[in-house]
A = this chain, B = another copy of it.
C-alpha cells in the first residue's frame, strides 16, 4: 500500500521573500515514516494552504510555532485517511484532520495538533473540515464574535478579506448584524466580496487611497478591525478607530517573511486616545468552543447565509503553485492541494 515511496516537500533552506522554489525540494522517493505505538499512518487527501505556515519556514524562534528544522519535510494542516493504525480508537479507512507533512504520508497522534477523527457523513464535503467548518471558520467566528466583540450595527473592517479566513470573517460579521467593509488588493476581488459574499463595501487598497476611502465609508470610525496582515494597512486603520474600538489580530502576513527589525504601527498611540483594545489570538486556543461554532456556522450555511469558496490545486507536485496563490494576491477563499 505504501510501496511506491513517500513523495514529500523538504525544507532545504530558509526562503528569501516568496522564493519558495529555492527553499523547498520535492523528493519523489522518500521513506514512508513508521507509525509507533499510539500513532496512525495517514495518507494525505487534502493539504491546507495557510499563510501562517510561512513563519515556520523562517528562522524566527519567537513565533507561535517553532521553525520547521532545515532538512525535514514542511509541516501543515491536512485531511487524510488512516492506512495503518497502532491505536484502538482509529481503524484503517478512518478520515481525520491533523497537522502533518506536505507529503503523501505522515504519522500523527494527539501531540500533532488538531488531531481529530472526522464523522463518516457522505453529505459533507471533506474540504469543509479544513475551511468553512474548520480552522478558518473557527478563526473567523472567534475573531469577530469573541475577540472583536462585534455588536449589531457596528462597523467592521477586515483585511485580506478575499482570503479564506477574511471572507468567512466578513460573513460572520454580516450574520451578526454588522456593517462590513473588506480590504483587498484587486478590483475583481473587491467586486466578489460585495456581489457574491454580501459585504457592504470593499476597498481595493492597492489602487484606491485607503485613508480617503475609510474616511468616506467609516465617518464614525471603525468599531472592529479583523486584521490578517499588519504593517501599513494596520497602521492606517489605527488612524480611523472609533472610541472603544477592538482590533483582533489574527495574522501579520506582511511581516512573516521579514527576518529583521519590523517597524511597529506609528499610530499605536491611538490605542490610548481611543481607549481601544488590541488582542492577538490563535484559534486552537478556543478548541473547546469549536463544536458550538461549527454548529452555528453550518446552520448559517444550510440557510444560504454562509459559504466558502475552495480553490483546489491537483497534485502534491503542484503544492508550491497553490502556496504562491496566498502571497501573490490571486486567491479567492481557501486554497488546498488535492493530493
Residues of A within 8 A of B (CB): 62-64, 230, 235, 249-252, 255, 261-282, 285
With beta carbons under 8 angstroms apart, the residue of B64, B272, B276 that contacts A273 is B64
**Contact in complex: A266, B271 (CB < 8 Å):** no
- Top-3 shortest CB links A-B: A264-B264, A272-B280, A264-B268
**A266 and chain B: residue at smallest CB distance:** B264
**A261 and chain B: residue at smallest CB distance:** B266
**Contact in complex: A275, B266 (CB < 8 Å):** no
**Copy number in this complex?**
2
CB distance from A284 to the nearest CB of B (A): 10
**A269 and chain B: residue at smallest CB distance:** B252
**Contact in complex: A251, B277 (CB < 8 Å):** no
Give complex CA distance A62, B255 in Å: 28
Do A275 and B264 contact each other (CB < 8 Å), given the known contacts A62-B270, A269-B230?
A: no
Give complex CA distance A263, B269 in Å: 10
Chain B residues lying within 8 Å of A270, measured Cβ to Cβ, are 62, 280
Chain B residues lying within 8 Å of A269, measured Cβ to Cβ, are 230, 252, 255, 262
**Contact in complex: A274, B280 (CB < 8 Å):** yes
Chain B residues lying within 8 Å of A276, measured Cβ to Cβ, are 279-280
**Contact in complex: A267, B264 (CB < 8 Å):** yes
Chain B residues lying within 8 Å of A64, measured Cβ to Cβ, are 272-273, 275
Do A266 and B266 contact each other (CB < 8 Å), given the known contacts A64-B272, A251-B272, A285-B275?
A: no
Chain B residues lying within 8 Å of A268, measured Cβ to Cβ, are 230, 262, 264-265, 268
Do A263 and B262 contact each other (CB < 8 Å), given the known contacts A63-B273, A279-B276?
A: no
Do A275 and B265 contact each other (CB < 8 Å), given the known contacts A62-B270, A270-B62?
A: no
Q: Given A262-B266, A268-B268, A275-B279, list of 14 further CB < 8 A pairs?
A: A63-B273, A230-B269, A235-B264, A252-B269, A252-B272, A261-B266, A263-B263, A265-B268, A270-B280, A272-B281, A272-B282, A274-B280, A275-B282, A277-B280
CB distance from A199 to the nearest CB of B (A): 24
**Contact in complex: B278, A271 (CB < 8 Å):** yes
Give complex CA distance A275, B270 in Å: 20
**A273 and chain B: residue at smallest CB distance:** B64
Give complex CA distance A63, B275 in Å: 11
**A239 and chain B: residue at smallest CB distance:** B62
With beta carbons under 8 angstroms apart, the residue of B262, B271, B281 that contacts A280 is B271
